[in-house]
């Protein structure tokens, strides 16, 4: 027992350390688990035994993964994406599988090994690709929709392969019979469960949910998942198929999202253990003896898959640029390929030596996947003039709407926050131009003059949006990587321009301020302030005290609000008496260059809230601060005093 506990602790410690490193390097956790398995497995340190008990426990990771896929299965979604799913997705999987089977036979190997290899090669990494699409805000783009459609069909095809691979392990004469029986069982199971199981499943979950017991609900989810898996295994099918069917049953009920949250911890932990066992199968010393074969198995399948997806996307009507991006995103192998290889190895469909090389090549392809995806746009622009033309047309369209604009606000993103902001700008008669990369949202805006299609993270789009004449830039979406790109371009084009950034919380605050943000507005802080104000009012605290507390917190948190909130009746004062912000950019001939803040004496009229120097984070200057060319000085004061201070800084009068 102590030895078992030590083994578990070692696995946990290694997994935590390696997965943390992978996350910091922005690599998928799957690769971390594979590395742990390689290091601790029988072919390296030999700490973890590669026995039947370990593999059987790891198989439950696949059970819960297939259950999660079943939860995502939606007939309306399939109908809406039928071109990408049943057109592109089906064609890609079918052609890859058939072509691999033919090539393997021509090389003198068994056709059944070709089916397994073709099916494994057809798979791409849902975990890597979907994560990077979301991070790059590309899920709604044409190539994003095609990619997700292909991934969805690949996930569904795995179910068929998990039935097919054990059937292929039978003797040559009986393969057709075994396969026909397996498919018949699968059809019967699907029919009974999906058509007769819906109503009883919904009723049972209602009974459990009425008890209002979280632990009972989780126990019930585990019972249903593992129970369905056991039923299909008793019927001669796989555990994974039963879990998939259980997920499909629950996906049509109102309990789907709660079930998904409850099952996630079990799925992630057990799936991590599964990938550890996959890593344990890999013998790096054996693979190192065949470097040329490994290189061929890496380059040829990735290249062939890339070319096939590009050709299929073009055949289904996608522009060349979209087809190229789709190919680059999906060229790598995926986690289900590893699942299929493990099953094929267990059924002795692949020789151990060949299995090692294929496994190593697929893990390497997953390692280079982030590199392919990160550089996809650069390569696409070099390979196609059409993409340049499309982007040039986009920039031209944006520029056409900014010709007559002067002193406008560039609003990056026209989602909920962007729309609320533009309504307030309209009330104050402040002109704006909103950029959004979702064509449907731009069409729904039905504007045509102030809301246009454009990628705000691109330098040329900001230039065409009139950044040279703009008063401010507001980034309304909580996407830090994209916000950092926009801030980088603004710092290069107009470092004195105020940029206000929305973010979810304070975790990226320093990074955004260092990149040149004038102010960062965290959703969590503003939400908590509203929650606190309502709570205090309900508890009987007088309104003026609630407002005073909220104002005090905002003044401490937001440097730009200092001096704005003095009392409840401030709004009644005349506009020209209200303090406001102004940014003054000091050129080489400015009077302030080489002089200290104390020498200039502007602090007697206005407050110098900050100075940004060469793109660095804004700092509050002291009396001895000496100004340099390129400094962007942020002033807070009333209009008349602001004018005097600006004149003193620039001309010395």
Rounded CA-CA distance 553/138 in Å is 37
pLDDT at 629: 87
Tokens of 64: 């819960």
Rounded CA-CA distance 354/333 in Å is 17
* Residue 492 contacts residue 512 (beta carbons within 8 Å): no
Is the four-CA dihedral 100, 102, 103, 105 of positive or negative sign? positive
* DSSP code for 505: S
pLDDT at 367: 76
- Rounded average pLDDT over 286-302: 86
pLDDT band for position 53 (cuts 50, 70, 90): low
- Rounded average pLDDT over 68-78: 67
pLDDT band for position 175 (cuts 50, 70, 90): low
- Rounded average pLDDT over 420-440: 81
The span from the first CA to the last CA of the chain, in angstroms, equals 85
pLDDT at 566: 42
Residue 396 pLDDT more than 60?
A: no
pLDDT in tens, 570-584: 444 444 555 677 788
- Rounded average pLDDT over 300-314: 91
- Rounded average pLDDT over 436-460: 72
Residue 390 pLDDT more than 60?
A: no
Please name every residue paired with 453 in a beta bridge, in sequence order, or none if there are none. 436
- The side-by-side arrangement of strands in the sheet containing 632-637 is 580-585, 632-637, 607-612
pLDDT at 565: 41
* Residue 121 contacts residue 94 (beta carbons within 8 Å): no
Percent of the chain with pLDDT over 70: 81
Mean pLDDT estimate for the chain: 78
Closest to 244 (Cα-Cα) out of 70, 386, 114: 70
pLDDT at 446: 56
Q: Report the length, in residues, of the chain.
A: 653
Tokens of 524: 């969590």
- Output the 3-class SS for 96-155: HHHHHHHHHHHCCCCHHHHHHHHHHHHCCCHHHHHHHHHHCCCCCCHHHHHHHHHHHHHH
Please name every residue paired with 451 in a beta bridge, in sequence order, or none if there are none. 434
pLDDT in tens, 201-218: 888 888 888 888 888 888
pTM: 0.57
**23: helix, strand or coil:** helix
pLDDT at 518: 84
Count the Cβ atoms, other than its own, within 10 Å of residue 522. 19
pLDDT in tens, 1-42: 446 677 778 878 888 888 888 878 777 777 788 888 888 877
Rounded CA-CA distance 169/155 in Å is 22
- Rounded average pLDDT over 283-308: 86
Which range, 144-148, 174-178, 555-559, has the best average confidence (pLDDT)? 144-148
Q: Compare 39 and 82 and report the one with higher pLDDT.
A: 39
pLDDT in tens, 319-355: 888 888 889 999 888 877 877 887 888 777 888 888 8
Which range, 123-132, 484-493, 604-613, has the best average confidence (pLDDT)? 484-493
Residue 109 pLDDT more than 90?
A: no
Phi, psi of 19 (to 5 degrees): -65, -35
Q: Compare 175 and 318 and report the one with higher pLDDT.
A: 318
pLDDT at 469: 85
Residue 365 pLDDT more than 80?
A: yes
pLDDT in tens, 475-514: 988 888 888 889 988 988 888 888 989 888 777 777 888 8
Rounded CA-CA distance 268/64 in Å is 8
Residue 467 pLDDT more than 70?
A: yes
pLDDT in tens, 550-605: 777 776 666 555 444 444 444 444 445 556 777 888 888 888 898 888 888 888 88
Percent of the chain with pLDDT over 90: 4
Phi, psi of 615 (to 5 degrees): 80, 0
Rounded CA-CA distance 620/423 in Å is 33
pLDDT at 174: 64
pLDDT at 305: 92
Rounded CA-CA distance 21/24 in Å is 5
pLDDT band for position 473 (cuts 50, 70, 90): very high
């Amino acid at each position: 027992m102590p030895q078992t506990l030590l083994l578990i602790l070692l696995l946990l410690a290694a997994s935590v350390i390696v997965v943390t490193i992978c996350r910091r390097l922005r690599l998928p956790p799957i690769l971390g688990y594979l590395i742990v398995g390689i290091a601790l497995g029988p072919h390296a340190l030999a700490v973890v035994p590669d026995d039947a008990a370990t593999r059987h426990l790891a198989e439950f990771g696949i059970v819960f993964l297939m259950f999660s896929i079943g939860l995502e299965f939606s007939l309306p979604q399939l109908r809406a994406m039928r071109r990408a799913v049943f057109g592109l997705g089906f064609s890609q999987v079918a052609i890859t599988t058939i072509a691999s089977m033919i090539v393997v036979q021509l090389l003198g190997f068994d056709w059944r090994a070709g089916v397994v290899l073709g099916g494994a090669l057809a798979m791409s990494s849902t975990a890597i690709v979907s994560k990077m699409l979301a991070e790059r805000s590309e899920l709604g783009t044409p190539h994003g929709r095609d990619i997700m459609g292909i991934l969805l069909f690949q996930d569904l095809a795995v179910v068929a392969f998990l039935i097919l691979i054990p059937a292929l392990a039978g003797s040559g004469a009986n393969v057709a019979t075994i396969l026909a029986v397996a498919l018949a069982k699968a059809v019967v199971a699907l029919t009974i469960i999906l058509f007769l199981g819906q109503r009883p499943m919904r009723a049972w979950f209602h009974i459990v949910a009425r008890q209002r017991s979280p632990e009972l609900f989780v126990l019930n989810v585990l019972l249903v998942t593992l129970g369905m898996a056991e039923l299909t295994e008793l019927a001669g099918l796989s555990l994974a198929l039963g879990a998939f069917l259980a997920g499909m049953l629950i996906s049509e009920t109102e309990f789907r999202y709660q079930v998904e949250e409850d099952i996630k911890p079990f799925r992630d932990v057990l799936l991590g253990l599964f990938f550890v066992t996959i890593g344990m199968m890999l013998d790096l010393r054996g693979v190192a003896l065949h470097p040329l074969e490994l290189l061929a198995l890496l380059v040829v399948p990735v290249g062939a898959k890339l070319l096939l997806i590009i050709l299929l996307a073009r055949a289904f009507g996608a522009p060349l640029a979209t087809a190229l991006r789709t190919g680059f995103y999906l060229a790598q192998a995926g986690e289900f390929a590893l699942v299929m290889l493990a099953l094929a190895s267990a059924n002795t469909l692949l020789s151990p030596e060949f299995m090692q090389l294929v496994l190593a090549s697929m893990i390497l392809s997953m390692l280079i996947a982030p590199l392919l995806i990160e550089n996809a746009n650069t390569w696409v622009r070099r390979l196609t003039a059409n993409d340049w033309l499309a982007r040039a047309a986009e920039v031209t369209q944006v520029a056409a709407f900014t010709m007559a604009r002067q002193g406008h606000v560039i609003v990056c993103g026209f989602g909920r926050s962007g729309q609320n902001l533009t309504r307030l700008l309209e009330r104050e008669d402040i002109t704006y131009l909103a950029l959004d990369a979702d064509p449907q949202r731009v069409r729904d805006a039905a504007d045509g003059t102030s809301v246009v299609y454009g990628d705000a993270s691109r330098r040329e789009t900001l230039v065409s949006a009139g950044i040279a004449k703009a008063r401010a830039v507001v980034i309304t979406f909580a996407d830090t990587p994209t916000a950092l790109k926009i801030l980088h371009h603004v710092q290069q084009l107009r470092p004195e321009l105020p940029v206000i950034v929305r973010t979810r919380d304070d975790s990226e605050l320093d990074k955004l301020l260092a990149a040149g943000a004038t102010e960062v507005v965290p959703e969590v802080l503003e939400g908590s302030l509203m929650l606190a104000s309502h709570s205090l009012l309900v508890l009987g605290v007088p309104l003026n005290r609630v407002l005073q507390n909220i104002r005090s917190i905002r003044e401490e948190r937001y440097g730009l609000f200092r001096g704005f909130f003095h009392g409840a009746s401030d709004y009644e004062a005349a506009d020209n008496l209200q303090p406001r912000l102004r940014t003054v950019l000091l050129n080489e001939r400015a009077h302030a260059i080489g002089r200290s803040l104390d020498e200039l004496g502007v602090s007697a009229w206005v407050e110098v809230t900050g100075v940004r120097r060469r793109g660095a984070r804004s700092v509050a200057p002291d009396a001895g601060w000496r100004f340099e060319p390129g400094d962007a000085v942020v002033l807070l004061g009333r209009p008349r005093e602001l004018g005097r201070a600006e004149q003193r800084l620039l001309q010395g009068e």
